[in-house]
A = this chain, B = another copy of it.
């Protein structure tokens, strides 16, 4: 698995929208500025995320983007897989893969399967609500430090 800039931008954007969950829409401009993402690139990413059911949009003045679900309902893995594709380290492991006939013989397959399970265990067990809590914990730690 490889996290691309697009995936990184998508995660940061979803997190930003998660932080503003329940508030009024956030504009592309604000999202781009806060996460330092090229605006026109983010436009495309947000359209993708909308098609993926992660976000909703409001047009016109007072428009912008909103998270389509509660932050607790979105896992990091959902976003990564939707934007950057499968997390499997080799094509052999992906669903509907026709090659890899001599599966029984490939002594490397168990390695790829282990890696695959390890990655899934991580990215599918953390939601954006968890991330927000971590952010808040960090903030408090900083205040306490002062």
Where the two chains meet, the residues of A that have a C-beta atom closer than 8 Å to any C-beta of B are: 1-3, 8, 11-12, 15, 76, 89-90, 104-105, 107-108, 111-112, 114-115, 118-119, 122-123, 126, 131, 134-135, 138
Contacts and interface: CB of A to CB of B under 8 A. Distances in A.
Nearest to A117: B118
A135 B110 CA distance: 12
A1 B107 contact: no
Given A89-B1, A104-B138, A118 B111 contact: no
Residue picked from A12, A15, A90, most chain B C-beta under 10 Å: A90
Given A8-B90, A118-B119, A111 B76 contact: yes
Contacts of A8: 90, 108
Which 10 A-B pairs rank lowest in CB-CB distance, beginning with the nearest? A118-B118, A3-B90, A107-B131, A2-B2, A114-B122, A3-B89, A107-B134, A107-B135, A115-B122, A1-B89
A1 to B, nearest CB: 6
Contacts of A11: 108
Contacts of A1: 1-2, 89, 115
Contacts of A12: 108
